[in-house]
Amino acid sequence: MLKTTLKFLGWTILGIITFLVLYLIAVYLISKITVNSDVVQVEEKDGIPIYILSNGVHTDIVVPVVNEIKDWRKEIQFSQTKSKDSTMQYIAFGWGDKGFYLHTPEWSDLKASTALKAAFGVSSSAMHTTFFKQLKEGDDCKRIIISKENYQKLVTFISESFLDANHPQWIEGYSYGRKDAFYEAKGSYSLFYTCNTWANCALKAANQKASLWTVYDKGIFCHYE
């Protein structure tokens, strides 16, 4: 009996290690494959500026708070942030695991149960929004000019990621700072669909350069070097 149990544990551990190795190889190789590599450059006067922004782990999609195509103030209200500052010019959207977002403001707060639920897609999700007055371009912040038509597609993708596309449900009492807020979102985070996968899919929806599939931020930014 003991011999059978040890054999089973050995095969289980080997299976887990094999899966992780294959997963990491796939993550690296597939993220290097570019989609929409032939995207047509748009003149600034004819397009809409957006940004991809990374904190080193997580990617946000940043768009104007208001323009002729979309006024985000109707759904994402300044009054739902601590600062209530209505002079902000840009708004960042970042999708992710709700439990991780709300209960892990610092890595030191991470619990094993939260990580496991996130990894295996058994918890709900949230949208994190952050207002900015301006952004500074750099290795972790890339500015892109997209057509108005593609911006409308991006708006649709972001809106449909909320649990209620027309009336985003504010998760009151949670924020990381004075200019952000959380909202209920659709879908579940997993090893195969992370916050960065969502941002990558947003770029795909807007017909911009993106990875075929990625789960980490560098899988997006490597296409904008």
DSSP 41: P
What is the rounded average pLDDT of the residues 115-126? 70
SS (H, E, C) 71-121: EHHHCCCHHHCCCCCCCCCEEEEEEEEHHHHHHCCCHHHCCHHHHHHHHCC
* Cα separation, 100 vs 103, whole angstroms: 6
pLDDT digits (tens, 9 = 90+) for 206-216: 999 999 999 99
* Cα separation, 47 vs 40, whole angstroms: 12
What is the chain's mean pLDDT, rounded? Answer: 91
If we measure between CA atoms, which residue out of 196, 176, 149 comes closest to residue 53? 196
* 3-class state of residue 215 by DSSP: coil
The letter for the amino acid at 103 is H
Answer whether residue 197 shows pLDDT above 80. Answer: yes
- Longest Cα–Cα distance of the chain, Å, equals 74
If we measure between CA atoms, which residue out of 195, 16, 34 comes closest to residue 100? 195
- Please tell me the predicted confidence (pLDDT) of residue 83: 98
* Cα separation, 79 vs 81, whole angstroms: 5
Within 10 angstroms of residue 223's Cβ, the number of other Cβ atoms is 23
If we measure between CA atoms, which residue out of 123, 114, 95, 121 comes closest to residue 182? 95
Ranking 32-46, 78-92, 179-193 by mean pLDDT, the lowest is 32-46
* Cα separation, 189 vs 126, whole angstroms: 10
Answer whether residue 112 shows pLDDT above 60. Answer: no
- Please tell me the predicted confidence (pLDDT) of residue 118: 59
Answer whether residue 6 shows pLDDT above 70. Answer: no
Element (H, E) at 150: helix 148-159
Q: End-to-end distance of the chain based on CA atoms, in angstroms?
A: 57
CB 31 within 8 A of CB 132: no
The letter for the amino acid at 107 is W
Query: What are the C-alpha distances in Å from 101 to residues 20, 24, 125, 181, 212?
Result: 24, 24, 9, 11, 26
